[in-house]
Amino acid sequence: MANPGYSRACFNCSSQPAQACSRCRLDFYCSKNCQRGDWPRHRLFCRSAGEPPAVPEPMAEVDMMDVNDETMSGPMEHAAEKAEILSEVKQYGVRRLMPVYCDRDPAWVLKLLKAAAPLLEELDIWNASKQHWLLLPTLKRLLRLEVNYWFPVLSGQDGCDKPELPALPPLDPADSPTRLLWLRVCLPRDPMLDLVRRYGASLRELQIFVGTTGQPHSPLSRGWPWTCGAEDLADLLRQCNLSALRRLVLRRPHKPVMTLCGDFTHDEAQCAAQLSAVRRALPSVPQVLCGTCNQIEWKCFEYTIFGTF
């Protein structure tokens, strides 16, 4: 019998009616999708009556590391600090790592990510090279991930859909289900689609940097991700199996907020058309929002960075 102290509303989305987990009878879910969405948390204590408690997973002793200064420096800079950080991560593990810039000292960052991999749950990574990009699928405990990629803008290329990053290796059917619940991406088109497809089935929230159609703000603001048609975006997202998604946010940064990444086109009429097309493509997602129109703060996990867009 279910524990009467627990709410009979769905633990994942608060909908009613909901049915108890058939194994432990403790938490309630309105659908299989919601049950799968909450599995990374629920699995830690779900067990049948009389079954011994689950052995808790090992936890990192270091909660968060801010490695902005170290990853923004070259190979010959901050050598002592980098050695100390690497030693600490190897010895104690780290749960949250941010922000990680890969292009200044790529070899050290690769060592850092490999050392953090066993216990890392949250990562904010910028300008990944091929080696850093291909390492992402090995971070099996990730729950929250932000991936930003500004190389084409900084080098003055026209458009961001150049094949800079390789395809991620295919999922191994023997692997445990993905845990990722939250993802924010600013990537070239194909890597973005590759990453979202890979984690789509478990995602609860997805934030994508993408503009609307309309007059670009600057010569650099052409092509993906600065401009995108409504149906084009809807077609992309249809391919991603976003069965557990509860919120989708479309981000449109603009001057003076992020001049280095170019200005994302934001035409209000086209924005409304884009949101409408995406809602039709993803009817099961309760919230499909524009970061600018809905004034959603851009936060790096719990930290507000640049205000709303």
Q: Work out how many domains the chain is built from and give that number.
A: 2
Same domain, yes or no: 79 and 186: yes
Same domain, yes or no: 265 and 145: yes
pLDDT tens digit sequence for 257-303: 444 455 788 889 999 999 999 999 999 999 999 998 998 876 655 44
162 lies in some domain: no
pLDDT tens digit sequence for 15-30: 777 888 887 777 778 8
54 lies in some domain: no
Same domain, yes or no: 225 and 142: yes
Residue 96, both tokens: 């949250």
pLDDT tens digit sequence for 109-161: 999 999 999 999 999 999 898 999 999 999 988 999 999 887 444 444 444 44
Same domain, yes or no: 175 and 147: yes
Residues with Cβ < 8 Å from 15, sequence gap 6 or more? 9, 30, 34
pLDDT tens digit sequence for 190-229: 899 999 999 998 898 999 999 888 765 555 556 788 888 9
Domain that holds residue 26: 1-45
52 lies in some domain: no
Cβ distance 262 to 155 under 8 Å? no
Check whether 184 has a pLDDT greater than 90. Answer: yes
Same domain, yes or no: 117 and 139: yes
Q: Write b or e for each residue in 68-84: b if 16 or more Cβ atoms lie within 10 A of its Cβ, otherwise e.
A: eebbbbeeeebeeebee
Residues with Cβ < 8 Å from 120, sequence gap 6 or more? 60, 93, 94, 95, 96, 97, 113, 139, 141, 142
Same domain, yes or no: 114 and 147: yes
Record the pTM: 0.77
Same domain, yes or no: 101 and 139: yes
300 lies in some domain: no
